[in-house]
Amino acid sequence: MNYIDCIEKVKNSAKSTLSVTRYEHSVRVAELCARLCKFFGMDEKKGYLAGIGHDICKEMKETQLLQIVKKAGFSISSYEIEKPILLHGKAAFVALKETFSVDDDDVLEAVAVHVVGSPDMCDLAKCLYIADKVEPGRSWITDKYIENLFKMKLDEMLLFVLDSTVSHLLKKGYSISNETQSLLDDLRKKNEKN
């Protein structure tokens, strides 16, 4: 798979199908994910591809998301049935694989799990999850915040970002998925051992 060609195709598709705001978010996520990958010794191109493709299905109708994800054979949790927008990562997995011939398992996994996380997610998925939550377009993210993140190890960084994301959601009255809670519990256990 030629990552550079694939990135261009996905980027052009995202630019032509997503709103300007969603497209610009995707570019910032791609740039930060690539930076995180480089920092942690991974392939930057994989990070950029995962980032630029992570939200390509975000603006689809909920019925379309359900249809795509069901047809692909993904399991759908009751939490996702209540909030079908959460399926946009799994739908993007399908789009990247079928429309853009992405065959990199790490890229596909990262995109599929970027919404709620997964206890056994690969390192690229961790980078994408972090980048999506703290990309510089988020109003509360400062250069100092990003600088402080880059002083942490990957799992420590993920725990920090996940903890603040979950706290924010709970304060706003939202619930969190079982996958997110399992990931948070696992990261806290690992952190206690270190």
pLDDT at residue number 190: 87
Architecture of the CATH domain 3-192: Orthogonal Bundle (1.10)
Least confident range of 32-36, 106-110, 145-149: 145-149
Return the domain boundaries, the chain. 3-192
pLDDT at 193 over 90: no
Least confident range of 25-34, 85-94, 169-178: 169-178
8 A C-beta contact, residue 17 and residue 57: no
Q: What is the mean pLDDT of residues 164-172?
A: 92
| Alpha carbon distances (Å) from 13 to 23, 56, 106, 120, 173 | 10, 8, 21, 30, 35
pLDDT at residue number 21: 98
Length of the chain: 194
